[in-house]
Structures are given as C-alpha cells and as structure tokens.
Amino acid sequence: MVLDLMILILSIFNFKQLKMTEQTNTIIQLIKKITLLSIVIFVIIIFSDHKGYFNPDNKNNHTLKKWNYFYEFNKKNNVDLLLIGSSHLYTGINPKNLSSASGLNSFILASPGTRVIDHFYTLEEALKVSTPKVIIIETYGLRSHEPYQLKNDLLSNQFKSFSARRNTLLKLQSTPLLFAPKHYPYCWSNTLRNHNFIFTNNKQISENIKISKKRRKIKKDLYLGRYVRFQTGIEDSIINKYRIDGAPVDGGKYEINENSSFYIQKIINLCEENKIKLAFLTLPMYHEHIKNYNVWKKRLQIELGEYGSTDHWLDLQIPINYSNFSRNSFENTYKLNQHMTYSGSLLATYKLVDFLNTKNLLTKDIKKKEQKWRSLFYGEEGFFENNSPVKHDKRNKIIYTSESIEILLLKKQNHNTILAKIKTNDTADLDNNKIELEAIVTSNGQQYKQNLLLNYDIYHSHKKNRNYTLNIKSTVTEIKIVNVKYP
C-alpha cells in the first residue's frame, strides 16, 4: 500500500504519462463547455454589478463618494494630509477648515464601523494614488477585529468600505482578512449579496435600473470626505440617564487582539517605509458617556509604542474642563457609539491644527501662497478664518488691517458677517473678551455711525488665529472702521 502511494505520487508529477485518451478528450470537451457557461454567468453578474441593479440604497453612500472624490482629487492635486478612520473621524473633523488652517490639502478616508485592518488597506490603496506628507489615524477603530463574528451592521459597513475601494489586487489581498469565507462572494458582488431584493426590496431594484440609465458623473465640487450628521447636542434626558445608569461605554471592554495589533504595526511600518509622518488622533465622547477610559488608553499606548506619546498622539478624550468641549459638542445619544456634532467637530479640527503646528508635523504653509491651492479652497468653509480675500473679490473684502488684526466683511447667503482675526501666539483665554468697533456703516444707500461689538468665536479659532464675529444685515454694503478696541 505504501509502495502504491509512492507510485501514485510519482505518477502525478510524471506529466509525460498523460496521453490524450478518449476519456481525456471527453473531459476537455466538457470543461470547455462548462467554462463557456461559467463565463456567460460571470459576465451577467459582472454586468449587473457594474450597472448596480442590486446596490443597496446609494443615496447616502458617502464611503463610495469619498473614494470617488479621492481618486478625482488626486488626478489634478495631491492629498498632503490624509486622515483615516471610522465614522468618528468624518463626523469629528472638518477637512476644509483643516486645509484652510494648515495650508495643505487634507482628505478624510473614513468609513463607518471599520477597524484597523480596513484602515491599513485604505492607507495602502491611498498611497498608490497620492503621496501624503502626514497620515493621521483615528484610534476608535484600533481594536479587535474578528471577521468570523461580523454581524449585520458591522458586516454591512465592512462591505460598504470594501466595495468602495478600487484596487483589485489589494481587495483580493484583504478579502480573507476582512471577511469570513462564506462572505467572500458577497463582498465582491452586490448581485450575489443582495439578490433577495427581488423579493424584499424590488423598489430599490427599479430605482437602481433608473439610475443606471443615467450616466453617473462626479460633481466638480470640493468634497474632502466630511459627512456631517449631528447638529444638536446632548439633551437633559441623556444627562439624567448618565446620572442614573452610568456611562454606557466601558473602556475596559475595548481590547486589541493580536491580529489588530499586527495591523497597527503594519500601518506604522508602511508610513516609516514611505517616510510619511504619522500621528494618531482620539476624538472624544462626552466625559460622562465613557468610564474606565484609562484602561483603554493604556492598551492603546502599549500598541502604539513610541507613537503613543503626546508627540504623536492627540488624545482629545480629556477632562471636559480643559477641552472647551461641552454638551453641544456631542451627539444626543446613549448608544455605545457617540459622535461629535458640527460645532464639536470644529473645536476638534482646530485642536488638531494646533497639535500639528506645535509638534512640527506640518510642513510650513507652502501652499497657501500657491495660486492653485488658493483657487481650490478660496471661499470654501474655513478659508477666510485663516486666509485673506483677494483684492478683486467684491463679495468678501478686507475692511481694516494692522500688524495684529485683520477685519473682513464677508457676504453670506442671508446675512453678512464681520470677522476680526487677531494674529497672536498669546495663549491667554480670550473667551470672555470682545472687540469693539467704531464704524461708518453704509446700508440701503444711507451712511451712519455705529458701534459694533464682536464676540469671540471659539469654534473657529486656534492658537495662531483668534476670531471674533458679528452677523449683520445683508443690506450693509460697506463698513469703514474708525476705531478698534481689542484686548
């Protein structure tokens, strides 16, 4: 029997013995036909996937939008500051403000519910398209990933992120790491994954058919990966719940398994190999929303190694008294996953700008003087807070300037805004201070003297730039500053 086995093994490798017997011909003929049939079926599925007949509701697929815009953006520009993470990131950071303040092109590639392995492959694909100078990884996703245990929400999020990516080879590589074998066909094909729409969601299919008939174009607006979801802060009912039931999030339960640890290291190595500066960012939850954060933090510190120091890690989960964050900065929820509101995200963004500045992670504001950069960001959110309007701009103009202060009149949709920017490195708390202007205002063709009081705008300020604002009527066309009083 042993001898038989040996002969058998030898015969497998002795291809010369293979003769074209009748049987072999039959098999080859059959294989040809099966291959043809398989190709036809494969083409039908690919066609259906391409047309998107079985796509889930794509109106809100901001992950796909991010990747499409990322590829589009990099055709003419380069992303200098790339932020990767989960939903905490795209709700917690405003890339337009970040770009305007830093003078770099920043972009967020974040997808809801994703973890570190997804972050790694996102980074790897992004590096094939652009050459960022700084990478920022948001830490919420740096925890255990078990592809075999992915269920419903997380699984669907993982599918969403996976299918938005474009690099086939990297997708192939990451398939077994992100999914259980039974999910392999579904991550590659919406037709296979959502075929049951035929019975459960045929409205979606007819909608998709209509959409597929129109040519899909990427709008030529500036989209940098942000997705604002929450505007209002935590209400009293949730605060009471914190007091009665305690914090819903227990930092002690957030663990980092070996696999995730391996991919954190791979991210670090990839950045080092490509000589890219790397930093980590923890976006906060409301301080009463989380307990035992220190346990979580310690675990992260161990995993991040030298990147776990304050030089490379901006941890905003700091006591609320020191952070300016308030109830209004956080989503009104008791769920485990609490995101930031729009105003909270502005605070976080400028704290990130300060961090990047103080830790010398940013290259000097090279691009701010470049015409290409200015035309890309001119007038976009956060631009005038950090930059001056050009002389020929009739809508937005400088109405006063000195060494330490610049005052702008900005035209908004329903009102005008007076924005005073104090250029200072003073770290004093300017929260309670105001700027007083003595001005001659022209409104509806009439001129009159008026004293204007500008309030400190905490949401649009950072250490290099303190902003004071006042909204005025849209009928005001001109303001002449006579005198300025400021701290």
User: How far apart are the C-alpha atoms of 207 and 31, rounded to whole Å?
Assistant: 39
Q: Which is nearer to other proteins, 181 or 246 (CB)?
A: 181
Minimum separation from the CB atom of position 199 to other proteins (A): 4
Q: In terms of CB distance, is 27 or 366 closer to other proteins?
A: 27
Asked if 181 interacts with other proteins (CB under 8 A), we say yes
354 close to 362: Cβ distance less than 8 angstroms? no
Select from 66-74, 184-192, 320-328, 426-434 the region that touches other proteins (CB under 8 A).
Answer: 184-192
Minimum separation from the CB atom of position 365 to other proteins (A): 47
| Site membership for other proteins, residue 18 (CB under 8 A) | yes
298-319 burial: b if 16+ Cβ within 10 Å, else e: ebbeebbeebbeeebbbbbbee
Minimal distance, residue 297 CB to other proteins, in Å: 35
Q: Which residue has the tokens 């075929």?
A: 195
- 23 contributes a contact to other proteins by CB under 8 A: yes
Strand-pair category, 416-422 with 405-411: antiparallel
How far are the Cα atoms of 62, 179, 315, 348, 446 from residue 332, in angstroms, in the given order? 22, 32, 22, 18, 46
Number of residues that bind other proteins (CB under 8 A): 39
Pair of tokens at residue 225: 């990966």
Whichever of 79 and 150 has its CB closer to other proteins, that residue is 150
- Contact flag: residue 182 with other proteins (CB under 8 A): yes
- Is residue 191 a contact residue for other proteins (CB under 8 A)? yes
Q: How far is the CB of 26 from other proteins (least distance, A)?
A: 5
Measured from the CB of residue 195, what is the shortest distance to other proteins in angstroms? 5
Beta bridge partners of 478: 442
Does residue 274 contact residue 127 with C-beta atoms inside 8 Å?
yes
- Nearer CB in complex with other proteins: 57/478: 57
Window 29-48: contact mask with other proteins (x via CB under 8 A): xxx--x--x--xx--xx---
Q: Among 114-122, 177-185, 400-408, 447-455, which window interacts with other proteins (CB under 8 A)?
A: 177-185
Of 45 and 316, which has the nearer Cβ to other proteins? 45
Q: Which is closer to other proteins, CB of 4 or CB of 221?
A: 4
Encoded one letter per residue, x for contact with other proteins by CB under 8 A and - for no contact, window 192-231 reads xx-xx-xxx-x-----------------------------
Interface residue with other proteins, options 67, 90, 120, 186 (CB under 8 A) = 186
Q: Would you count residue 7 as binding other proteins (CB under 8 A)?
A: yes
Q: Does 26 help bind other proteins (rule: CB under 8 A)?
A: yes
Q: How far is the CB of 111 from other proteins (least distance, A)?
A: 18
Residue 50 or 395: which CB sits closer to other proteins?
A: 50
- Judged by CB under 8 A, the stretch of 25-33, 64-72, 129-137, 405-413 that binds other proteins is 25-33
CA 394 – CA 134 distance, rounded (Å): 36
Window contacting other proteins (CB under 8 A); options: 19-27, 297-305, 337-345, 406-414:
19-27
Q: Does 183 bind other proteins (CB under 8 A)?
A: yes
Greatest alpha-carbon pair distance for the chain in Å reads: 109
Backbone angles phi, psi at 178, to 5 degrees: -100, -20
Return the residues of window 152-171 that contact other proteins according to CB under 8 A.
Answer: 152, 155-156
Asked whether position 4 contacts other proteins by CB under 8 A, the answer is yes
Of 26-34, 219-227, 402-410, 466-474, the window that binds other proteins (rule: CB under 8 A) is 26-34
Q: How crowded is residue 216: how many other Cβ atoms within 10 Å of its Cβ?
A: 9
Task: Please state, in angstroms and rounded to a whole number, the distance separating the CA atoms of residues 234 and 253.
Answer: 24
Identity of the residue, 198 or 453, whose beta carbon is nearer to other proteins in the bound complex: 198
Pick the closest to residue 451 from 441, 435, 439 (CA basis).
Answer: 439
Provide long-range contacts, Cβ within 8 A and 24+ apart, for 292-301: 292/250, 292/251, 292/252, 293/251, 293/317, 294/251, 295/251, 295/252, 296/251, 296/252, 296/254, 297/251, 299/254, 299/255, 299/256, 300/139, 300/142, 300/256
Beta carbon nearer to other proteins, 24 or 240? 24
- Write out the binding residues for other proteins, residues 122-141 only, by CB under 8 A: none
User: Which residue, 37 or 453, is less far from other proteins as judged by CB?
Assistant: 37
* Interface with other proteins (CB under 8 A): 1, 4-5, 7-8, 11-12, 18, 23-24, 26-27, 29-31, 34, 37, 40-41, 44-45, 152, 155-156, 181-186, 191-193, 195-196, 198-200, 202
